């Protein structure tokens, strides 16, 4: 995958898919827990709706209200935004998909990461199957591992440190990363690892799996 155009196209496709998933949810599913420990499904959706269009002034004010903690600001803002309701959330998500909105100061791949990873955050707890395109793994892995502290707190912490000393091997594509004992997993599971989400032990195989599991 090369170029911002392809990233933008993938982002639009995955954003549209996330909207379709939300439209099909029952009321109790909207308030079910997501993989993000502090967020329900509706909070994840609200974050994806309004984080990409949060302006500099509003963002600075929100940081001030939350003690200049980026994690706290992001977590609590999403919960507050969720009170705007399903229809407002869906309308903003549709607008973001149409305009290609990206969080301020972030590259286009950040919007792709949000669409993919937060989509997984919602689907997996609800048992909704979907196929994550294998072509997203390389750019999202690179983005997660290249993002420095303190910005990496919003992408699951230090992915580079988490996967150091093992070789990640995708079982559904020819992507690999690193050196050391192999850890084999699907694209979706590798993204969960890279972005600091919980992973069941039986989702990772290979001689390096125990090393990596001890860090999760």
CATH number at residue 176: 3.30.1050
How far is the C-alpha of 116 from the C-alpha of 124, rounded, in Å?
12
Residues 24 and 79 in one domain: yes
Q: Of 87, 103, 130, at which residue does a domain stop? A: 130
Q: Of 110, 130, 150, at which residue does a domain stop? A: 130
Q: Of 96, 111, 130, at which residue does a domain stop? A: 130
Residues 120 and 166 in one domain: no
What total of structural domains would you count in the chain?
2
In this prediction, residue 54 has a pLDDT band, given cuts at 50, 70 and 90, of confident
Q: Which of helix, strand or coil describes residue 185?
A: strand
Which structural domain, as residue segments, surrounds residue 150? 135-213
Q: Which token pair is 39?
A: 């967020």
Phi, psi of 158, rounded to the nearest 5 degrees:
-80, 95
Decide if pLDDT at 1 tops 80: no
Residues in the chain: 216
Residues 122 and 174 in one domain: no
Task: With beta carbons less than 8 A apart as the criterion, state whether 186 and 146 touch.
Answer: no
pLDDT digits (tens, 9 = 90+) for 132-158: 999 999 999 999 998 877 666 767 778
Give the global pTM.
0.89
């Amino acid at each position: 995958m090369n170029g911002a155009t392809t990233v933008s196209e993938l982002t639009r496709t995955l954003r549209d898919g996330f909207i379709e998933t939300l439209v099909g949810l029952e009321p109790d599913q909207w308030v079910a827990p997501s993989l993000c420990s502090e967020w329900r499904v509706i909070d994840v959706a609200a974050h994806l709706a309004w984080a990409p269009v949060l302006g500099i002034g509003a963002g600075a004010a929100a940081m001030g209200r939350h003690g200049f903690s980026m994690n706290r600001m992001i977590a609590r803002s999403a919960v507050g935004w969720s009170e705007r309701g399903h229809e407002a959330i869906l309308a903003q998500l549709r607008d973001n998909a149409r305009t290609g909105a990206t969080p301020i100061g972030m590259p286009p791949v950040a919007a792709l990461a949000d669409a993919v990873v937060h989509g997984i955050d919602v689907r997996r707890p609800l048992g909704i199957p979907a196929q994550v395109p294998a072509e997203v793994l390389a750019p999202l892995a690179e983005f997660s591992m290249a993002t420095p502290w303190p910005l990496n707190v919003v992408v699951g912490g230090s992915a580079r440190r988490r996967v150091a000393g093992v070789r990640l091997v995708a079982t559904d594509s020819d992507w690999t990363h690193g050196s050391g004992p192999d850890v084999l997993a699907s694209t979706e599971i590798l993204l969960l690892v890279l972005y600091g989400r919980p992973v069941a032990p039986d989702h990772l195989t290979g001689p390096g799996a125990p090393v990596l599991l001890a860090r999760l």
